């Protein structure tokens, strides 16, 4: 009894003094943790060689062949041995219940400037590839804002960026996947070879069809800067209309659309829209190294234009691509309330962000169940015609601002073309085979939780998912999902996927997609508990 009361008081104290605890303990520890990881990366870079790729793949094939020789009763389902805490996904997949195969694949293999592609091993990160490509005048066609995401994880989990209204989701920029299948054989899947069925289902497969050992991605030519224009807009319909107009949701090219588009929604009525173009240096235009440690957090900088009015500046490309990294969008504010104070930034800003890997590494099952009910991490892909509805519904359910919005093209690849359902006809851009969707990013502690109002996370998320299914949208599967398997199959089209699983021997060898991505905790039980 006494111990429980003490524990409750301790938890309350930690919660009330969260910023202090984070600054004094988490940040330094996270920094040391990061140093260790960095050292390991550097050693890895010295030691490994692109020429060793085939040998490394042969070793992976050998491990899978050995698994095949085990008696059937001892064959646990396969997964990679990459520790869970290194993955950016919010769920904790139960790796210890599976047969783990090591994939030590960290090298950039070939830059092909004729074909404008780069062939990489799957564990190369966004941080590595931007460092490699940008000095050479290139970037991936889709580069997300977090340095630690891996190119393989994005391939199987998919991703999108503020350039996606032009090129679509990350997986649309993959020209080939090299995969080790359940029987240990190595195949290359492209859109038009004999494995095109596999190609179509690998995106959004989360490692449930085979091991990815290399992939080839499209790159684009860049200039050293992004010329960015911040436009504050008042009135919900106004900013929604502008985002649709700018992204080409209403009409097809030849109209020229900006290279980058992003909206930060600060309240139902206020947003700042950013449009960016590749640019060389222009004398007279301010240069903002936006992701340096002492700079204001990017969304705070953006917010300032609500008062200051429209403005243009030049941001060096890598600073632009990683602009949300230091404050993990706006998540760090919930951890360190004074984190954007200029003095704090000057002296301690370089310690940010607390590394997602460190946060996950130190998350015990108790903490996980606790934070699960107090935080939201969701990226949802929804038709941009429904933008007003999206914002109103998420405002009702979570009361969480800012919201991240950027447009993304969803291409209609025809019937049974993979897990992504085809966009509904009413959302297609006239005269094209695509619809304009957008990412709705809801991150952090909902206002209802902060104000200790009644809030049932499971109920709220299930309502959001219901809306998503109704309009033919998709939940990103790195985030926790709250759907039953039946509901999941309404959101995603598993018809080709199930065929491919049979044909390529994945049944009985790799976990099913739904089992791979569903939270390891019983979300429905937690929903009941919170329903008092």
Ligand X SMILES: *[C@@H]1O[C@H](CO)[C@@H](O)[C@H](O)[C@H]1NC(C)=O
Q: By CB under 6 A, name the binding residues for ligand X.
A: 112, 114-115, 236, 268, 388-389, 392
Residue numbers 360-399 binding ligand FAD by CB under 6 A = 377, 379
* Residue in this structure with the two tokens 């999108």, named with its chain if needed: 160
Q: Quick check: 354 binds ligand FAD (CB under 6 A)?
A: no
Q: Are 316 and 287 in contact (CB under 8 A)?
A: yes
Q: Where are the beta strands (DSSP E) in 107-259?
A: 108-112, 117-120, 138-140, 174-180, 186-190, 211-221, 225-234
Q: Quick check: 178 binds ligand FAD (CB under 6 A)?
A: no
Q: 89 is in the binding site of which of ligand FAD, ligand X, none (Cβ under 5 to 8 A by kind)?
A: ligand FAD
Q: 159 is in the binding site of which of ligand X, ligand FAD, none (Cβ under 5 to 8 A by kind)?
A: ligand FAD
Neighbours of 36 (CB within 10 A): 10
- The number of residues that bind ligand FAD (CB under 6 A) is 32
Q: Quick check: 177 binds ligand FAD (CB under 6 A)?
A: no
Give 259-263 contacts, CB < 8 A, sequence gap 24+. Answer: 259/163, 259/166, 259/226, 260/162, 260/163, 260/226, 260/228, 260/320, 261/162, 261/165, 261/406, 261/407, 262/162, 262/404, 262/405, 262/406, 263/239, 263/404, 263/405, 263/406
Q: Quick check: 320 binds ligand FAD (CB under 6 A)?
A: no
Nearer CB in complex with ligand X: 303/386 = 386
Tell me the CA distances in angstroms from 235 to 114, 247, 267, 484, one per residue in order. Answer: 46, 19, 10, 37
Among 207, 232, 349, 446, binds ligand FAD (CB under 6 A): 207
Q: How far is the CB of 268 from ligand X (least distance, A)?
A: 5
Give yes or no for a cis peptide into 55 (omega within 30° of 0).
no
Neighbours of 85 (CB within 10 A): 15
Q: 114 is in the binding site of which of ligand FAD, ligand X, none (Cβ under 5 to 8 A by kind)?
A: ligand X
Query: Exposed/middle/buried for 469, CB within 10 Å: 0-12, 13-18, 19+?
Result: middle
Q: Which span sits near ligand FAD by CB under 6 A: 82-90, 257-265, 284-292, 422-430?
A: 82-90
Q: Are 128 and 189 in contact (CB under 8 A)?
A: no
Q: Are 124 and 107 in contact (CB under 8 A)?
A: yes
Among 156, 230, 305, 330, binds ligand FAD (CB under 6 A): 156
Q: Quick check: 460 binds ligand FAD (CB under 6 A)?
A: no
Q: How far is the CB of 235 from ligand X (least distance, A)?
A: 10
Q: 389 is in the binding site of which of ligand FAD, ligand X, none (Cβ under 5 to 8 A by kind)?
A: ligand X
Indicate the helix (H) or strand (E) that contains 312: strand 311-316
Indicate the helix (H) or strand (E) that contains 342: helix 342-348
Q: Report residue 298 as tokens.
A: 């990017």
Helix (H, G, I), strand (E, B) or coil at 169: coil
Q: How far is the CB of 472 from ligand X (least distance, A)?
A: 17
> Which residues sit opposite 187 in a β-bridge?
179
Q: 305 is in the binding site of which of ligand X, ligand FAD, none (Cβ under 5 to 8 A by kind)?
A: none
Among 108, 160, 202, 445, binds ligand FAD (CB under 6 A): 160
Nearer CB in complex with ligand FAD: 153/472 = 153
Q: 484 is in the binding site of which of ligand FAD, ligand X, none (Cβ under 5 to 8 A by kind)?
A: none
Q: Quick check: 214 binds ligand FAD (CB under 6 A)?
A: no
Q: Quick check: 53 binds ligand FAD (CB under 6 A)?
A: no
Q: Quick check: 511 binds ligand FAD (CB under 6 A)?
A: no
Q: Which residue is nearest to ligand FAD (CB)?
A: 153
Q: How far is the CB of 444 from ligand FAD (least distance, A)?
A: 9
**Footprint of ligand FAD on this chain (CB under 6 A)?**
79-80, 87-89, 103, 122, 144, 146, 149-150, 152-154, 156-157, 159-160, 206-207, 211-212, 328-329, 331, 377, 379, 439, 441, 443, 478, 516
């Amino acid at each position: 009894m006494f111990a429980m009361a003490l524990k409750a008081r301790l938890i309350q104290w930690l919660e009330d003094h969260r910023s202090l605890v984070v600054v004094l303990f988490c940040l330094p520890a996270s920094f040391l943790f990061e140093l260790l990881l960095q050292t390991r990366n550097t050693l890895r870079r010295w030691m490994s060689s692109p020429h060793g790729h085939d040998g490394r793949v042969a070793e992976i094939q050998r491990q899978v062949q050995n698994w095949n020789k085990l008696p059937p009763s001892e064959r646990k389902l396969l997964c990679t041995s990459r520790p869970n805490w290194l993955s950016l996904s919010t769920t904790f997949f139960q790796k210890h219940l599976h047969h783990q195969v090591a994939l030590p694949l960290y090298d950039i293999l070939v830059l092909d400037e004729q074909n404008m592609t780069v062939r990489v091993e799957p564990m190369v990160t966004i941080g590595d590839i931007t460092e490699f490509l940008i000095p050479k005048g290139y970037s991936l066609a889709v580069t997300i804002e977090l340095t630690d995401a891996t190119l393989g994880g994005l391939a199987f989990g998919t991703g999108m960026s503020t350039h996606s209204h032009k090129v679509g989701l990350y997986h649309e920029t993959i020209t080939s996947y090299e995969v080790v299948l359940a029987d240990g054989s190595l195949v290359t899947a492209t859109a038009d070879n004999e494995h095109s069925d596999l190609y179509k289902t690998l995106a959004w497969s989360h490692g449930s069809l085979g091991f990815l050992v290399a992939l080839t991605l499209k790159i684009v030519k860049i200039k050293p800067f992004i010329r960015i224009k911040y436009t504050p807009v008042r009135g919900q319909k106004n900013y929604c209309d502008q985002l649709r107009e700018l992204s080409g949701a209403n009409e097809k090219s030849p109209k020229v659309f900006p290279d980058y588009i992003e909206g930060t929604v600060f309240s139902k009525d206020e947003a700042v829209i950013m449009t960016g173009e590749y640019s060389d240096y222009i004398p007279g235009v301010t240069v903002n190294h936006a992701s340096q440690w002492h700079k204001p957090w990017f969304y705070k900088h953006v917010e300032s234009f609500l008062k200051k009015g429209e403005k243009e500046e030049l941001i060096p490309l890598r600073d632009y691509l990683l602009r949300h990294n230091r404050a993990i969008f706006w998540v760090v504010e919930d951890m360190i309330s004074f984190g954007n104070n200029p003095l704090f930034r000057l002296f301690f800003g370089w310690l940010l962000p607390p590394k997602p890997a460190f946060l996950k590494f130190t998350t015990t099952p108790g903490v996980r169940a606790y934070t699960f009910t107090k935080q939201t991490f969701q990226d949802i892909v929804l038709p941009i015609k429904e933008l007003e509805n999206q914002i109103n519904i998420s405002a009702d359910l979570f009361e969480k601002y800012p919201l991240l919005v950027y447009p993304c093209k969803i291409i209609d690849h025809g019937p049974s073309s993979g897990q992504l359902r085809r966009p509904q006809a009413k959302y297609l851009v006239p005269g094209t085979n695509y619809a304009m969707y957008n990412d709705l990013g809801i991150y952090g502690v909902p206002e209802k939780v902060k104000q200790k109002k009644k809030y049932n996370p499971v109920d709220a998320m299930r309502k959001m998912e219901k809306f998503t299914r109704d309009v033919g949208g998709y939940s990103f599967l790195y985030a926790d999902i709250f759907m039953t398997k039946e509901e999941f199959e309404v959101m995603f089209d598993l018809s080709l996927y199930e065929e491919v699983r049979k044909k390529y021997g994945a049944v009985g060898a790799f976990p099913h997609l739904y089992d791979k991505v569903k939270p390891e905790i019983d979300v429905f039980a937690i929903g009941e508990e919170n329903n008092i």
